[in-house]
Amino acid sequence: MPAVNRTIALLVAATLLAATPALAQDETPGDPDSVIETAPPGASDSEITARIRDIFAEIESLQHVEASVASGVVTLSGETQTADAAARAEAIAARINGVVTVENEIERDVSVTTRLTPAAGQAETFFRDVVRSLPLLSLALAAFAVIAAFGWLVSVWRWLWRHITPNAFIAELAASTFRGLFFILGAVAALSLLDATALLGAFLGAAGVIGLAVGFAVRDTIENYIASIMLSLRQPFRPNDHVVIDNKEGRVIRLTSRATILMTLDGNHLRIPNASVFKAVILNYTRNPERRFDFELGVDADDDPIAAIETGVAAIAALDFVLKDPPPIGFIKAVGDSNIVIFFAAWIDQRTADFAKSRSIALSAAKDALEDAGFALPEPIYRLRFDEKAPPILQDTSDAVATETKPQEKPEKRERAAASAQDVAPDTHLEEKVEEERREEPQGDLLSPSAPVE
């Protein structure tokens, strides 16, 4: 039995020894965990040392690393410029067949000379490559210059863009877009010649991030810019129009790429951001030359309101500046405690009659006509009441006070000139100031007579 056992043990050992080369052949080349087969399994320390030194001699960063081996234990010494190089030396030594463990005693070389020498070599290599690439760089710059110059020359051709789009603002926007597009095409062509398209991708990515950040920072400016485009395409007013924009009243001077400029009725400049104008409720008094004015008058509660309406309407209709079609109107608006409120309205042509003057003269004419016809325009009446404990002097004068507070009959008015003869010509001073402003700065106005008006 002992002989049989020995025979079986020998067979197993022979099988294992035969399988070892096959296993080594099945390992994947380049696997960092695989064993470097440089010596037979029984390699001596001197053979391991020689193999490590030969490998380190072929690697520039490990040429100053020394290796010594004793009983399969590798001790590394010397200097490397980086910690990564020292770790790489340890990993290589550990893969040598027959190595039990590795003692890493490598130090980092921090001398100035050692650090500057590679940098100088890299700089020399860089400048040598630049000199070799000068013809290609010149060709790339020439391609960029030609393409960008062509885009610039076409973009400054004003006639072409005005022919494509009659709107000055859109023409300028299209020209700028065309110029920027050809600038980008020139950069792409130049980088393609230099085989540096990856740099263009990085640049465009960085530009996108920066553009997003800037967009958030100047979103109000961008909103005004877009609103300017919309307002120039569909214009809600013309130059010198009398408008009210969100309770801001004035005459339109111009529309710029950022704001709408008005001249207020007292002659001051008013700038409204275009984003606010685009979203605002706009009242345009100039679009329709015919305009209606209105006012209210009160007559005594004992008077006949229908007769008062007829009297007032007749007085208004007699004025020359009041339009006959549509005719003036009047109706009872409210019945108060001591009077009846009558509403009067009439139309005028703003091209020949001033609105404020016409309303003022019509109101005066209606008031005079009502008073001449015997209608009372009541004033406030106050009643004073005193109890029995009041002093006798107050009790005695209470009736006198009440009598004095009653409306007294007014004397007959003097004859006056007819209201129609009064001056109601429009005041053109503000319009002339606006036209003067527009003549002084003709550029930058986005209002165009050929653009559609909403």
> Using one digit for the tens of pLDDT, what is the confidence trace for 252-300?
999 988 889 999 999 899 999 999 999 999 999 998 999 999 999 999 8
Phi, psi of 240, rounded to the nearest 5 degrees: 75, 10
Looking at the domain 290-421, which fold is it?
A: Alpha-Beta Plaits (3.30.70)
How sure is the predictor about 242, in pLDDT bands with cuts at 50, 70 and 90? very high
Which pair of structure tokens corresponds to residue 300? 């005594």
Distance from chain centroid for Cα 129: 45
> Using one digit for the tens of pLDDT, what is the confidence trace for 6-65?
545 444 444 444 444 443 444 434 454 555 555 455 568 888 888 888 888 888 888 888
Distance from chain centroid for Cα 434: 30
DSSP lists the bridge partners of residue 108 as 80
Residues 6+ apart with CB under 8 A from 396: none
Percentage of the chain beyond pLDDT 90 is 23
What is the full DSSP assignment across 254-312?
EE-SSEEEEE-TTS-EEEEEHHHHHHS-EEESSSSSEEEEEEEEEEETTS-HHHHHHHH
Domain ranges of the chain: 2-108, 116-217, 290-421
Q: Among the listed ranges 150-154, 303-307, 341-345, which one has the minimum average pLDDT value? A: 150-154
Find out whether the peptide bond into 327 is cis, omega within 30 degrees of 0: no
Q: What is the pTM of this model?
A: 0.55
> Using one digit for the tens of pLDDT, what is the confidence trace for 63-121?
888 888 888 888 888 888 788 888 888 889 888 888 888 888 888 877 766 666 666 66
The correct answer on CATH 3.40.1160.10 for the domain covering 2-108 is: no
Please report the pLDDT score of residue 355 as a whole number.
92
Phi, psi of 258, rounded to the nearest 5 degrees: -120, -35
How sure is the predictor about 152, in pLDDT bands with cuts at 50, 70 and 90? confident
CA separation for the pair 300, 322 (Å, rounded): 27
Which pair of structure tokens corresponds to residue 270? 């008013």
Position 366 pLDDT exceeds 90: yes
Q: Which is nearest to 300 in space by CA: 366, 381, 404?
A: 381
> Using one digit for the tens of pLDDT, what is the confidence trace for 393-446?
555 544 544 444 444 444 444 344 444 456 788 888 888 898 888 888 766 788
User: Could you tell me which residue, 98 or 243, shows the higher pLDDT?
Assistant: 243
Mean model confidence pLDDT for the chain: 78
Q: Map tokens 């000068």 to a residue.
A: 134
